[in-house]
Structure 1
Amino acid sequence: MAWDEWEQLKTQAAGRESEQMQLNRVPDEGGGGGGSYGDLTTSESDLAKIGSNAFKLFNRLYDEARVAGPSSSKAAEDLKTQGFELGGGLAHVAKRWDEQLGSLRDACSHISNHMRVTKKIHKNDEHYITGQLSSIATLDSGFDERVGQPGEKNPIYGEKKKDEKDKD
């Protein structure tokens, strides 16, 4: 492929992209959002609420949603022993219910644990960044405090002796 052909293909691709919807920019005036732009932010209380609600749902699913499982399984077995094919279908539904309930509970548990871990990680990051910035501010302020007049030589180094000047 020649360089000119490559450039032509790039130009055509750029033309096609400009005709399509753009997602990587700020919407035009009046479009979407609450009017403020910037980074996504969340507080620890937001994360705690999400984690708490996921944990509550996890417990409620165990207490309330699994009640149907044992009775459905028993009914399915009774129907099978009486010769009804509906028993097999009900057994299949009861098994799938338990599987889906387990998946949903796992997801709630994952969300709850993730929020707890996320909160802890970001709290530790915040402490680290705050410490780094405050130490930089302390160091920076040290450069602004002057003990003597600027430009004076430090007497500790003294004057060079005449024979040392000649060697340089």
Structure 2
Amino acid sequence: MRLNGAPTRDPDASPTGADLIVHDDELGKIGHFAYRLHNNLKADGKQAQTTTKAAGTSLTSDGLEMGKALTSASRAWAEQVGTLVDACAHISNHLDYTKASKKKDDEWVGAQVGAM
């Protein structure tokens, strides 16, 4: 085994087969689901917020403690939906970046191996 170089290879010989194969169809599906979930949550996740907040305000003005709890729950719900929307966007964007980056890396490795 040589540590200071690579064994010589016939430049006309074709590669015997790829040893690095990436199937990104699963990543694509996950990214697509994250994107759809992001859009759906953004559109529908706060659907009841206005009426819930109004009900909480009305109950509070009538002197009922439940109004404060309802307003607090509405605020917490909106915060959690926002966090989930952000997480879905992060997943989708990260997978898009990873897919593009991996493709560039594979092309670079292929060019380097082909140049040997």
What TM-score comes out, normalization by structure 2 length? 0.79
Counterparts of 2:51 and 2:89, CA distance in 1 = 26
Identity of matched residues, %: 34
Query: Compared with structure 1, are the counterparts of its residues 83 and 42 closer, same or farther at alpha carbon in structure 2 (3 Å cutoff)?
Result: farther
Structure 1 stretches of 4+ moved >2 Å = none
Gaps of 5+ in 2: 1-20
Q: Which structure has the larger Rg? A: 1
Q: What's 1:60 paired with? A: 40
Q: What's 2:111 paired with? A: 131
Q: Structure 1 residue aligned with 2:75, among 62, 87, 95? A: 95
RMSD over equivalenced CA pairs, Å: 1.2
Number of equivalent positions: 96
Gaps of 5+ in 1: 1-40, 137-168
Structure 1 residue 46 displacement after superposition? 1.6
Q: After TM superposition, list the pairs within 5 Å mapping 1:104-123 onto structure 2.
A: 104-123=84-103
Amino acid at match of 2:107: H
What TM-score comes out, normalization by structure 1 length? 0.55
Structure 1 residue 44 displacement after superposition? 2.1
Counterparts of 2:77 and 2:47, CA distance in 1 = 11
Q: What's 1:43 paired with? A: 23
Amino acid at match of 2:101: I
